[in-house]
Structure 1
Amino acid sequence: MPRRSRTSHVLAALVLSAAAAVTAAPPADAAAADAAPRPVPAGSKFPANFLWGVSTSGFQSEGSFPDSNWTRYVARKAYGIKDPYKNSVDFRHQYPQDVQRAKSLGVKVFRTSIEWARIEPRKGFRDPKALAYYDDLIRRIRTAGMRPMLTLDHWVYPGWVADQGAWDNPQTVNDWLREAKFIVDRYKRQGVIWITFNEVSQNLYHELLARPMNPDQFMKMRAGITKAHRAAYDMIHKVDPGAPVSTNLAYGSIANPLFDAAIFNQVTDKLDYLGIDYYYGANAENTTARYSLSGEFWKIDPEPEGLYYVLKSYHRRLPKLPIYIVENGMPTDNGKPRADGYTRADHLRDHIYWIQRAMADGVKVMGYNYWSLTDNYEWGSYRPRFGLFTVNALTDPKLTRHPTDAVPAYRAIIADHGDPSGYVPKRRPGWCSIEDPIATCFGKIPTPPVPYRIR
């Protein structure tokens, strides 16, 4: 996760809370009718070329981080900062072992970011040690049989860019594109799946509060990033022909039209695939998104079936583009079990079930990344834990990786090409989903045909 803390869902929570106050309780027959999804039928499998993966990001996991906008935010305890950065989970030095952990899962894709602040700590000077580190990281990913998915911008820029006015200054677009071309040229022809900017809507939101920015600066940043993505798309196709390019979008539940307006609506002609990050949904029976107001993201009840409706919605909008689920995961409170007993493995299997459902309905899904390989710095706090491998970053000086129950679950899913036949999601679909109110508010909750097959 960036992807990130989930304070970006404050707006969604406000609207959702207001809507919940006036929403009538679901009719008893509607809530009960066909509420339980049908079991996965025998023979329903993901295709052999499906791209299973894991995600992480540079700043959130590397540690030993140079001067940047985010190290400055942490130093002055900007909006939303609760914990010191310390050394994060020290991916910068433990990456050989973490790459092997990913390999042991059987994944085909390893996503991370190439950090501009690390490579070019001073304008015009590229650090040879940083380049050697990224060179070796990508070499190890490929040697382990995985494709690199490289994000060029995961919300972090060098301190000298901040000093020149960040995205207020038109020169930043030129500097960003110069650095992007250098990175693409260095790692071309290595099977890279490219992402230009990670979750632009969330990036704008965090910069708005942590930097902070006024509305004029906000619009300049939005315009600059949009311009940079469009130019980078063309550049990548010229420098690394055949490599797929996208910018992954954060799904924003009831506020999703605003999230899409950040960049997605302006660049649909400059995407080779749709990169979607899905964490939370909402329905009339589940308004727990309000916990984002207090930063207690682990109290938000997941809505796995929402991913099904999100995939179908974006497929209808751009049916020619395949979809890659770039991030999906569940936070726990400092690694403690959820009070409702819903485990990380349950969450993973349930979401895989609904992806299978969407693919059976004809949605073209090319890959899925779990966020994240290990716990990391969630943009101001170590308390939300998303990792397949959990790490006690604040208390364990060795930063030991401890496997969660989702590790064997993900390994089995990948080996078996999906959930086992007969699997039924642990979490029952809710009534009247925000993701597709027409289908879910006025009739039975849809269930797949029996048997259904991935097409």
Structure 2
Amino acid sequence: MINIKDYEDVVFPSDFLWGVSTAGQQIEGNNNSFYDDEETAPKKPGYVMAGKACNSYNMYEEDIQLIKAMHLNTYRMSLEWSRIEPVEGEFNQEAIEHYHKVLSSLKREGIKVALTLHHNSHPVWFEKKKAFHTMDNLDYWLRYVKLAVQEYDQYVDYYLTLNEINIVFEYSRDEGINLLQYHAKAYQLIKQYSTKPVSLPLNYAQKQPMRAYDEADQIMAQYIDYMEQGFFINAIRTGEIVVPEHDALMIPELKDSVDFWAINVYIRQLINSRKKLFRFDHYNATHFHSSDEPFFSDEICPEVIYNALHRLSDKPILITENGIATTHDRYRIIYIASMLQAIHQAMDEGVKVLGYFHWSLLDNWEWGSYMPKFGLATYDHETYKRTLKKSGKFYGAIAKEGKLTQDIIQQFYK
């Protein structure tokens, strides 16, 4: 295990964004998106619908107080399209006003807002129209984006359009190509009504050959890295989408359609060319049980975030998600400290990092399960009372001081 008691003190810039991230589908409750509908919800064993989730739709003020208690200056949250337009062409004024209340409350508390317009969930009616699997639905998407920007731009500091669209390429290249175009059109539309910076969060996992010098592992790791990350980075940098089994597609408005890189970073993936399930191996020497049930975050690899920052150093970078699912809160303290050390080292070497958002504020619904515990705070599932964990207090102490020091580490990690 990493020994954070050996770390040197590091100081972050005074304008560094200390934040936390959530998604409405995962915390609000009774969202009525396609994830909550019997007909359209994912068909997988053990799938549990979100239900009331963390009841944050009704308890957003309590969430804001948690953010304040941690001395954070920024909150990444999402609008839920399924609330705003539950029926095609019919906008819910109560929901629109609700988000005004949430966002204005954040502004009153001096908390900056990174607003995600689509964090994986959308209305049932949109899903039934094949959602992003077709370009025929572009007008519906842009109508929603326009409404969101016109309603809420006064509160927003950063826009994030569509969350982690590069993951789609694992199972649908056509949809992934569509999503890049949906983003490009949204970027252009936002710029008509706002001067705020806009980005598109990339899910980043370092693809590492299981056996460092095995040619097959190397080739597969390089291929998978390109298919899940490299094509995305190249498309944003050049406007050209280049993927196997498709003619290259040039979309001029896609080029430079992010004002900063937004990255969600958690893990590395060891690529084993000898197995059908090639991305799920681990090294016994660095593997640990973070939760009672196996989950993907059973290793702490700060070098992944360091390497990601250097790879994307041509633009400022905002780390929009980073966290660990664990029932052992000490691991989360180690995780946060090690990631901040890696981030600071990259910054010392010239990478412009705007800020760090931890995932997540609360132990929330994780796309069909309540088992993974990502939260800096937990809650009672009957009363929904929030309680900040020691890791939340640790992160809060760092944010308050703007630095990670041995004094802070010794206070919370004993």
Fold match (TM-score > 0.5): yes
TM-score (norm 1): 0.73
> Which residue of 87, 99, 104 corresponds with 2:52?
87
Distance in structure 2 (CA, Å) of the matches to 1:204 and 1:46: 36
Correspondence 1:283-294 to 2 at 5 A: 285=283
Pairwise CA distance, 1:37: 9.0
- Give the residue type in structure 1 aligned to 2:29: G
The reply to whether residue 415 of structure 1 matches residue 400 of structure 2 is yes
Q: Is the 8 A contact 1:80 1:380 kept in 2?
A: no
Contact 1:288–1:301 (Cα < 8 Å) also in 2: yes
Q: How does 1:223-372 map to 2 (within 5 A)?
A: 223-241=177-195, 243-254=196-207, 255-261=224-230, 263-268=232-237, 269-281=256-268, 285=283, 296-297=294-295, 300-315=298-313, 319=314, 321-332=315-326, 336-337=327-328, 342-372=330-360
Note the C-alpha offset of 1:85: 1.9
Within 1, Cα distance between the matches of 2:122 and 2:77?
A: 15
Contact in 2 for aligned 1:74/1:85 (Cα 8 Å): no
Where does 1:71-150 land on structure 2 (aligned, <5 Å)?
Answer: 71-72=36-37, 78-79=43-44, 81-150=46-115
Q: For 1:174 and 1:52, how far apart are their aligned partners in 2?
A: 35
1:156-194 Cα distance to aligned partner (Å, 9 max, x none): 121111222222332311110111011011112334200
User: Which residue is 1:442 aligned to?
Assistant: none
Structure 1 letter corresponding to 2:175: M
Residue identity matched to 1:337:
H
Would the aligned equivalents of 1:74 and 1:84 in 2 still touch at CA under 8 Å? no
Q: Map Cα deviations across residues 319-355 of structure 1 (whole Å, 9 max, x no partner).
A: 2x101100011101xxx327xxx42112111111111
Shift of residue 369, structure 1, vs aligned partner: 0.2
Q: Rate the CA distance shift 1:239–1:295 in 2: closer, same or farther, 3 A.
A: farther
Amino acid at match of 1:229: H
Structure 2 gaps, min length 5: 208-223, 238-255, 271-281
Name the structure 1 match of 2:24: 58
Structure 1 position 421, deviation (Å): 5.4
C-alpha distance in 2, partners of 1:189/1:376? 28
1:381 match: secondary structure: coil
Question: CA 1:178–1:274 in 2, change beyond 3 Å: closer, same or farther?
Answer: same
Contact 1:46 1:356 in 2 (8 A): yes
SS of equivalent residue, structure 1 residue 189: helix
Q: CA separation in 2, counterparts of 1:118 and 1:287? A: 46
Change (3 A) 1:223 1:310: closer
Query: CA 1:421–1:389 in 2, change beyond 3 Å: closer, same or farther?
Result: closer
Identity of aligned residues (%): 29
Q: In 2, are the aligned partners of 1:155 and 1:203 still within 8 Å (CA)?
A: no
**C-alpha separation between the residues in 1 aligned to 2:17 and 2:233?**
23
Q: TM-score, structure 2 length as denominator? A: 0.80
Measured against aligned partners, the alpha-carbon deviations of 1:118-159 in whole angstroms (never above 9, x if no partner) come to: 100011110011111111010011111111111111111211
| 80 and 174 in structure 1: CA distance in 2 versus 1, 3 angstrom threshold | farther
Q: Is the 8 A contact 1:222 1:263 kept in 2?
A: no
3-state DSSP of counterpart to 2:113: strand
* d(CA) in 2 for partners of 1:291, 1:97: 31
| Residue type at the aligned position of 2:304 | G
Given that 2:40 and 2:124 are in contact with CA atoms closer than 8 Å, whether structure 1 keeps it comes out as no
2:347 counterpart letter in structure 1: M
Relative distance call for 1:299 and 1:104 in structure 2 (3 A) is closer
C-alpha distance in 2 between matches for 1:192 and 1:276: 17
Contact 2:201 2:264 (8 Å CA) reproduced: yes
Partner of 2:129: 164
Aligned partner of residue 110 in structure 1, secondary structure: strand
Question: What do residues 183-232 of structure 1 show as CA deviations (whole Å, max 9, x unaligned)?
Answer: 01111233420001101123565xx5xxxxxxxxx233222211111111
Distance 1:69 1:261 in 2: 30
SS for the counterpart of 2:102 is helix
When the two chains are superposed, the root-mean-square deviation of aligned CA atoms in Å is 2.9
1:168 and 1:281 map into 2 onto residues whose CA distance is 29
Q: Is the 8 A contact 2:316 2:353 kept in 1?
A: yes
Alignment: residue pair count: 363
SS in 1 for 2:320: strand
Question: Partners in 1 of 2:233 and 2:95 — Cα distance?
Answer: 31
State the AA in 2 paired with 1:277.
Answer: N
2:37 match: secondary structure: helix
CA separation of 1:222 and 1:137: change in aligned 2, threshold 3 A: same
Deviation at 1:50, TM superposition (A): 0.5
User: Does residue 378 of structure 2 align to residue 390 of structure 1?
Assistant: yes
Question: Does the CA-based 8 Å contact 1:39-1:424 persist in structure 2?
Answer: no
After TM superposition, give the deviation of residue 48 of structure 1 in Å. Answer: 0.4
The structure where strand makes up a greater share of residues is 2
Q: Is the 8 A contact 2:118 2:161 kept in 1?
A: yes
2: distance between equivalents of 1:367 and 1:162? 34
Aligned-residue offset at 1:413: 0.7
Instruction: Work out the CA distance in 1 between the residues paired with 2:344 and 2:378.
Output: 27
Contact 2:5 2:409 in 1 (8 A): yes
Is 1:230–1:267's contact at 8 Å kept on the other side of the alignment? Answer: no
Asked if structure 2 preserves the Cα contact closer than 8 Å seen for 1:298 and 1:384, the reply is no
Q: Name the structure, 1 or 2, with higher relative contact order (CA <8 Å, separation 6+).
A: 1
